Amino acid sequence: MRDRFGRRATTTAIIAVVLLLSVTIATAQETDYLAPRTAAGNPDLNGIWQSINTANWNIEPHAAAPGLARELGASAAVPPGLGIVDGGEIPYLPQALAQRDENFANRLDLDPEIKCYLPGVPRATYMPFPFQIIQSTQHIMMVHEYAGAVRTIYMENHTLPPAPSWMGWSNGSWDGETLVIDTRGFNDQTWFDRAGNFHSDALHVTERFTARSADTLMYEVTIEDSNVFTRPWTMSMPLYRRVEANAEILEFRCVEFVEDLIYGHLRKQPDSQSQ
């Protein structure tokens, strides 16, 4: 009896060890994944990619909440999310935190997404729209479905930003299996999300794209802006390949959806005296 129970315990322990080793081996294999190579010998990251998270609502951890249009009920509600900020909390300067809260309170008027402005970096990467990576030796293009936003990453002849812009000026390089993109030269008009998290025109973004499997990339981004934050901080998330046979970037020309919102007050009103 005791021997039978002893054998059972031993068998259970062996199974547990085997399962643990299987998980460890699978994780190691995933970590050691090597992407296919381009003709130039660099990792091939070409494809259409998309995030699956709630970061566009709020990059910090957040509970579900009602949306601004309460009459739309659950369809406009904010979904809960674990956040993508490493450590959970953005290290704001006190006055900047107050500005973030003011942004959130007035987000219907201030959020640049509502007005179809270019989303900026890194927000363009985790909006609920796909984007396409197109590689060549001298340049890498990132074509975003939202607002037709396009980024050019210069892999050679790196230069400083010629002027502030919505998407910044990006210089790229390869660090082994990782595409590293250094972007500066932003204006101060974009936000990180719908929760009012923001930056100044001193923003410096360093992104790292690493293939972790045939259909996933690991995306890590470091944010530096001494006008707004007490120290540099990071965000990370996986990106997923769109594997549909007919996957493509479609048009989302949102400007026409916001013309009345932005310019409606300029519309000529009927002259009551002429009626």
Domain boundaries, the chain: 47-262
Sequence-ordered list of residues with C-beta below 8 angstroms from that of 13, at least 6 positions apart, any chain: none
Q: Which two tokens stand for residue 237?
A: 């998330």
Q: Which has the closest alpha carbon to 84: 120, 58, 103?
A: 58
Upper half-sphere CA count for residue 203 (Cβ side, 13 Å): 29
pTM value?
0.84
Q: Which two tokens stand for residue 172?
A: 């790229």
Question: pLDDT tens digits for the chain (275 residues)?
Answer: 445 445 444 444 444 444 444 444 444 345 689 999 999 999 999 999 999 999 999 999 999 999 888 788 898 899 999 999 999 999 999 999 999 999 999 999 999 999 999 999 999 999 999 999 999 999 999 999 999 999 999 999 999 999 999 999 999 999 999 999 999 999 999 999 999 999 999 999 999 999 999 999 999 999 999 999 999 999 999 999 999 999 999 999 898 898 877 767 666 665 555 45
Cis peptide before 122 (omega within 30 of 0): yes
